[in-house]
Structure 1
Amino acid sequence: MGISTFTGDHARDKFLSAYEQAMERCWPAGWTVADVPTTFGPTRVHQYGPAGGIPVVLLPGAGGNSLMWHRYVADLGRDRQVLAVDPVGEPGGSHQDRSIENSSDITDWLSEVFAEVGVTQAHLIGCSYGGWTALQLALRHPERVATMTLLDPAGFGKVGSRFLAWVILGGLAGLTPRPVRHRAARWLRNATLLDDDLMGLARATMGFRRRLPVPPALTDDELRGCSTPALVLLGERSQLYDAASVARRLQALSDFSVEIVPDTGHDLPVSHPSLVVERALGLVTLSSTGTP
């Protein structure tokens, strides 16, 4: 599979400078950062909110990092600790030293992160690739996952040409002037292009080469065997898969709660942060007290 890396020291330094400035500008005051060792490379974890209890752990999508959660952290961290992880192999504050070949490696890495920061169990919120990562941890180590909120997650079907075209076009649009990028956001159904803070990293990220495994589709047996309380939020117009078909399959094979968010696509985490926070905290409260 190889190791994800920047094309050179200049590309890495340029990205990290832009990334750190964006984090300082966008995240609420009071967060701290820890770089924890794992066998796959040092991993950056941003921490916010009061310690104690079961924390919320945030897992970004492919090509993402902790900055994507800047509209979530203050609300999620008002009464509990939030840990936003920069995955190894993605452009962020972590550095990959060892190849990640499969889902077993992904869960080994995340388990090591949990151990290093002293987390025995967590409420996971993961989008796209991060949603697949959360599912893999719940399948292999269910005792470590209190709940999962999965935002248009990968792993429910083959990644097709429609999604790849959407990603490529979004990347190209991200390099255009702001007015053009904002117009493109509408016809691409990609609210990320409207977030100037996230898109400020677009050019710097061009110097990164990502080498992580493509998520295989979960089997029927895996879905039947996953007992972790979970909420799956799907974009009605998701570019990743047919949301209605995925919802029917999940409702037939699992005890997951499934909600299709109208008139939104794979950009769900960026276009509907308030809805996601409300639903995620509702699941956390239900899990903790037994009442919504």
Structure 2
Amino acid sequence: MKAPDRISEFTSDRARTRFHTAYDQARARLWPAPPETVVAPTRFGEVVAYRFGSAEGTPVVLLPGAGGNALSWTPYLARLSAHHPVLAVDPIGEPGAARQTAPVPDEGAVVECLAEALDALDVRRAHLVGMSYGGWLALRHELRFPGRAASLTLLDPAGFGAVSGRFLLWVVAGGLAALTPGPLRRRLAGPLGNATLRQEELLGLLRASLSFRRRLPAATPLADAELASITVPTLVLLGARSRLYDAADVAERLRGLVPTADVEVVPDAGHDLPVHSPGPVTDRIEEFLAGR
């Protein structure tokens, strides 16, 4: 599916300033040891990556979900960067530090943008870790450039069926709940299956990002033949309560089509899996990456 021939942007200069103020404050508060900031030029604009950990070894590249940025990975950074070089990415077309200068009209362009950013970052091979849309992007990148990824880690990834009204309702409900008073918002987190509503340190940023108009193509569904061609070591963690799809059905499909994939369904978590269960998810990622 093609995206409109437009650039992702904020609704006004005031909204942009408000977001970047909240973004810079959140980075300073959540990342007390400033990482190295690297700008990666592409034909679609400038991707921004934050480098943590050692410079030695195969880097772990962290790709956020739709509407997210590198701050989404805050609970994971200390542990992952203790054993691996880590690059947390602000992609083009998402609210963050990246700067978009040209439309990203279709799936191919999204993949090319990531590939060009990795080239600019001098990343020849990487462990790609993606949540939701970022997981779909990691899969699409591997299909286009097989073998460039040393491994794939996918957290409740998109691309396993069309986006349903049920999922869109979940997104809208979460956005509305973010605007409610704190006690009510925190109570709503459980019934809505959205642990982000309990993230007080990111609440201002979440509210500010509501004024961002995202103009990227939807995650196209992955065909059986495409999945069957994946040979790189792959870890897939699915939220049992995900509103994106039936996790049990997706797990069964992946186990049948991708013999190199280790597929697990995480109880109690939904599409909010990376925020809901950062400790267990980090444990599983570290175990998966050990020795690779």
Are 2:271 and 1:266 equivalent residues in the alignment? yes
- For 1:121 and 1:54, the matched residues in 2 are separated by 7
- Residues 28/140 of structure 1: CA separation in 2 closer, same or farther (3 Å cut): farther
Give percent identity, aligned residues only: 51
1:59-78 correspondence runs (5 A): 59-78=63-82
Q: Deviations along 1:81-133, whole A, 9 cap, x unmatched?
A: 11011111100001111111222111111111111111101111100000000
- For 2:171 and 2:112, the matched residues in 1 are separated by 28
Q: Deviations along 1:132-164, whole A, 9 cap, x unmatched?
A: 000011111122200111000000111101100
Are 2:156 and 1:176 equivalent residues in the alignment? no
Q: Could you tell me which of 1, 11, 14 is aligned with 1:10? A: 14
Are 2:66 and 1:52 equivalent residues in the alignment? no
- For 1:263 and 1:114, the matched residues in 2 are separated by 35
- For 1:285 and 1:197, the matched residues in 2 are separated by 31
Aligned partner of 1:218 in structure 2 is 222
Displacement, 1:198?
2.1
- For 2:118 and 2:9, the matched residues in 1 are separated by 24
The 3-state SS of whatever aligns with 1:184 is helix
AA partner of residue 181 (structure 2) = P
1:1-292 correspondence runs (5 A): 1=4, 2-255=6-259, 256-286=261-291, 288=292
Displacement, 1:203?
2.2
1:28 touches 1:74 (CA, 8 Å); kept in 2?
no
Displacement, 1:214?
0.8
Structure 1 stretches of 4+ moved >6 Å: none
AA partner of residue 276 (structure 1) = V
AA partner of residue 52 (structure 1) = E
- For 1:193 and 1:285, the matched residues in 2 are separated by 32
2:175 touches 2:210 (CA, 8 Å); kept in 1?
no
The 3-state SS of whatever aligns with 1:51 is coil
Q: Deviations along 1:157-210, whole A, 9 cap, x unmatched?
A: 111011000000000001111111101101101101001122221221122111
Displacement, 1:76?
0.4
Displacement, 1:28?
4.7
Displacement, 1:30?
4.0
**RMSD between aligned alpha carbons?**
1.1
AA partner of residue 60 (structure 2) = V
Count residues in correspondence.
287
- For 1:208 and 1:246, the matched residues in 2 are separated by 31
Q: Deviations along 1:207-266, whole A, 9 cap, x unmatched?
A: 211111111110010001111110110011111000010011111111211000011100
Q: Deviations along 1:31-83, whole A, 9 cap, x unmatched?
A: 12122211111111111111011000000000000111111100000122110
The 3-state SS of whatever aligns with 1:85 is strand
1:68 touches 1:198 (CA, 8 Å); kept in 2?
no
AA partner of residue 229 (structure 2) = G
- For 1:56 and 1:49, the matched residues in 2 are separated by 10
The 10-residue stretch of structure 1 (65-74 or 8-17) with the greater mean CA deviation from structure 2? 8-17
